[in-house]
Structure 1
Amino acid sequence: MCRVAIRIASHPPSTIHKSTFRRGAPPHPVLLFEKDKMTTILSSTLGLWRLMLAVWPWQLGNEGKKMRVKQVSTGVIFALCIACFFAGSLFNSRTWTHPSLSRDINVTPFPEIHKPTPDCDHQRLLMEDKSADVMEQATRTRHAVGTLDITIPKLETQLGAAREGMVYGHQKEGNHSVQKAFVVVGINTGFSSERRRESLRETWLPGGDKLKKLETEKGIIIRFVIGRSATPGGVLDQAIDEENAKHHDFLRLNHIEAYHELSTKTRLYFSTAITLWDAEFYVKVDDDVHLNLGALVNTLARHQSKPRVYMGCMKSGPVLSKKGVRYHEPEFWKFGKEGNKYFRHASGQIYAISKDIASYISTNADILHRYANEDVTMGAWLFGLEVEHVDEYSMCCGTPPDCYLKARAGNVCVASYDWPCSGICKSVERMKEIHNSCGEGDRALWSFSR
């Protein structure tokens, strides 16, 4: 849009310096001129008054006497008027041409109005073209930012994978790429749990060729997760090596197994798993829990489009400060006064996290604080992040009749266990019975398509 500029004709009164009115400041030239002018006026007035007294007839009213004066001719009066006219003209000329006044007052007889130039339309078109260029540049910038949002998590994952591989002894060969998968299911187990592992292989965990087919066709990776004994290469480690040579279903961690180190083990599991498999989800489950794999992968698939998901049976139990009791929390004071409850977190029997969260744990493993209870530790890591907590009730099922009735109603449970035992009570003896009552059948698992 073309603008019409108007210059104000008169100079504002603010051009008179404020220093003129300060006490003790030297007088401004304009004021000196005004003083001379007043002196001239007073002198002229006094002279004219004396002249008029001399030539004009006046009546003196003192005691009724009249004083006669000599009559003045008309020519003298006319000459006096001409003299007054020229004196006034000289005064006006001095007023308007005074140098100090002309420096302070800028007089413009008429305002100047700049009319719109004839090429306004051309300028408007140029401005529109520039606006279009700015919008196009902004669009490109938004696209670049979106690309970075996608690229940065991938780079962080690769960085964490490289670092964790070197730290925990799982560095892959340079020419071997990370295997793609949909989900990695890590079954937490120990050296003394061989019978539990066998109960799972006989029920819901496929073995042999089926396990390999599940990986290649469905992208479902299942491994028993275990560390090492305090005496490397001892009897306990040899027993695990022999079992793994037979079933090929173990993930060994560079970690010394101990009950009070479950938080460390969980951190190492996610950090190691992401170096070996590029999966959409990573699941941790205990070896005394019944799991329906088909229900699990279909439940996870519903949340696949979300960037950061933390899924499980959410709870908020009391913070136990008394020593000697089960689940005692030595750092209870961090959670407030005595009697407070924990923040919401997934129960430790089973929970799932998405890839971005596993990458976060891998990248920041060295500075993630570990509490006494593993499930609380995981909840604490994610409590202050932009993570969606999904309270999945199908991961909270009890053993029969609970899971049996839900299965018959068409609501097959993802996981079943007993709350008093933090797993299935006497799981080795009861796992097959529970699987027969609450299992989903093979069709649900093999019909899954990622």
Structure 2
Amino acid sequence: MFLMVGLMKAVSERLQQQQQQQLPAAEKKPRFRPPLPVKTVVLLAAACFFLGLLLSSVISSLVASENRAGIACDSKDCDRKRRLEEAKTGDVMDQVSRTHQVIQALDKSVSKLEMELAVGRMRLNGGRGGGGGGGGGSYNKQLKKAFVVVGINTAFSSQKRREAVRATWMPTGAKLKRLEEEKGVVVRFVIGHSATSGGAVDRAIDEEDAETKDFLRLDHLEGYHKLSAKTRAFFSTAVAIWDADFFVKVDDDVHLNLGMLVATLAQYRNKPRVYIGCMKSGPVLYQKDVKYHEPEFWKFGEEGNKYFRHATGQIYAISKDLASYISINAPILHKYANEDVSLGSWLIGLEVKHIDERRMCCGTPPGKVTRNRVGSFRKTPPENFDLMGLMVDCEWKAESGNFCIASFDWPCSGVCKPVERMKEVHGTCGEAAEAIWNVAL
């Protein structure tokens, strides 16, 4: 309202000034001015009213634009702040992840140092630090350096098997000693003692060892159902004598190519906690009247379940740190009925690298009829080719220059009739005699 009055007053004064300018100078005398006509006033009032509305609308539009611009700016600021917060959160999470990795690495380093310390104490104590089957005080001496210790599991009744092994893939006499000194490859038949220590069977082993010097005696009571304890005793005894990179267990009815074994192990020399073998996961046998019955089958879940992955028992290799772990913790390591399952259970909960090496479980050459039938299919069967339940035999690999590490027959859990056939298998699947000496370590 005040705005309209002011505008009317300004318009009236402007009209008076124009009229005065139109009069001659002489006639410029003060006089009474009649009021503006009502019609003019009404028109001016209406004009002022509409002018006010126009100005009000313009001002409102400007204010709204400024508000929207402010809101838009605030939105951009919020978005930028949100991105900054997200970036900060991402940086924090990344830092937490890196810190967690560092903590894990430190934890592994501490665990490794603790294990090395325990091994050192055990060795100072003559190999008895872990208890339960160590080597005893006679091993309280400086450790011998070696690359691998191969323990051949044997029994009192297996003299002919041992003779078959010595006549084929195992060096003897001066060659055995040279192999140990030049290549760091130690090969020993592993055996414990009888129930009547010092009896006839023990004396027979003593006499054989005096002649061949290729035995490792364990503080262990021999027995087929005590293979888990024997395996544990072997590792505990061996780590107390040799400072070796690897420890291998192999049965005395298995054919072994030492050169291929050493060359394969050399690939994992600088890797910690390595477990190498022909990995399998067989069924848990709960029936009491079957071979390899598992009395503790209920621990593996429902009937028909399978074992966890583990190396087949004919041959396997573990690195030094795992052998030391077994030696240190021997008293609390549970023994299952089957020694390969026991070893797998000791390692399943550790940070262990499982190496599935199929060349450790080749089949021996099949019979003549079967061989001819295989040849009718193709000259060289593919990898892991199965025929009538038989694996591809080591002969095919030998012909291609890719020798197997170990060969045996699954139905016999070793070379069938090893005393009669070991020489045949060696002639067909064995590597050259100089192969072991040509391996670079």
TM-score by structure 2 length?
0.67
Matching residue within 149, 164, 168 for 1:184: 149
Aligned 1:367-386 pairs, distance under 5 A = 367-386=332-351
Matching residue within 296, 304, 320 for 2:269: 304
> Residue in 1 aligned with 2:420?
429
Verify the 8 A CA contact 1:288 1:424 in the aligned structure 2: yes
How far 1:147 sits from its partner (Å)? 7.5
Matching residue within 329, 335, 350 for 2:315: 350
1:160 aligns with 2:107: no
1:361 aligns with 2:358: no
Structure 1: runs of 5+ lacking an equivalent = 1-140
Aligned 1:31-430 pairs, distance under 5 A = 151-162=113-124, 165-166=127-128, 167=131, 168-172=134-138, 176-400=141-365, 402-430=393-421
In 1, Cα distance between equivalents of 2:396 and 2:106: 52
Equivalent AA in structure 1 for residue 290 of structure 2: V
Verify the 8 A CA contact 1:289 1:349 in the aligned structure 2: yes
Equivalent AA in structure 2 for residue 186 of structure 1: G
Verify the 8 A CA contact 2:153 2:189 in the aligned structure 1: yes
Verify the 8 A CA contact 1:161 1:271 in the aligned structure 2: no
Cα deviation, 1:305-332, whole Å, max 9, x if unaligned, reads 1101000000111101111211000000
In 1, Cα distance between equivalents of 2:266 and 2:139: 31
Structure 1 residues 271 and 142: CA distance shift in structure 2, 3 A: closer
Structure 1 residues 434 and 398: CA distance shift in structure 2, 3 A: same
Cα deviation, 1:9-67, whole Å, max 9, x if unaligned, reads xxxxxxxxxxxxxxxxxxxxxxxxxxxxxxxxxxxxxxxxxxxxxxxxxxxxxxxxxxx
How far 1:400 sits from its partner (Å)? 1.3
In 2, Cα distance between equivalents of 1:144 and 1:255: 38
Equivalent AA in structure 1 for residue 137 of structure 2: Q
In 2, Cα distance between equivalents of 1:147 and 1:391: 26
Cα deviation, 1:236-272, whole Å, max 9, x if unaligned, reads 0000000000000001111110111000000000000
In 2, Cα distance between equivalents of 1:147 and 1:320: 40
Structure 1 residues 220 and 337: CA distance shift in structure 2, 3 A: same
How far 1:443 sits from its partner (Å)? 2.2
Equivalent AA in structure 2 for residue 349 of structure 1: Q
How far 1:442 sits from its partner (Å)? 1.9
Structure 2: runs of 5+ lacking an equivalent = 1-102, 367-392
Matched residue of 1:244: which SS?
helix
Verify the 8 A CA contact 1:164 1:362 in the aligned structure 2: no
Verify the 8 A CA contact 1:399 1:434 in the aligned structure 2: yes
Equivalent AA in structure 2 for residue 432 of structure 1: K
Verify the 8 A CA contact 1:225 1:253 in the aligned structure 2: yes
Please, which moves more after superposition, 438-447 or 158-167? Answer: 158-167
Aligned residues with identical type, % of pairs: 63
Equivalent AA in structure 1 for residue 421 of structure 2: R
How far 1:164 sits from its partner (Å)? 6.6
Verify the 8 A CA contact 1:407 1:413 in the aligned structure 2: yes
Matching residue within 430, 434, 437 for 1:439: 430
How far 1:154 sits from its partner (Å)? 2.4
How far 1:162 sits from its partner (Å)? 4.4
Aligned length: 309
Structure 1 residues 383 and 147: CA distance shift in structure 2, 3 A: closer
In 1, Cα distance between equivalents of 2:289 and 2:107: 53
In 2, Cα distance between equivalents of 1:187 and 1:205: 10
Structure 1 residues 198 and 268: CA distance shift in structure 2, 3 A: same
Verify the 8 A CA contact 1:170 1:275 in the aligned structure 2: no
Matched residue of 2:350: which SS?
coil
In 2, Cα distance between equivalents of 1:202 and 1:437: 15
Structure 1 residues 262 and 407: CA distance shift in structure 2, 3 A: same
In 2, Cα distance between equivalents of 1:156 and 1:390: 26
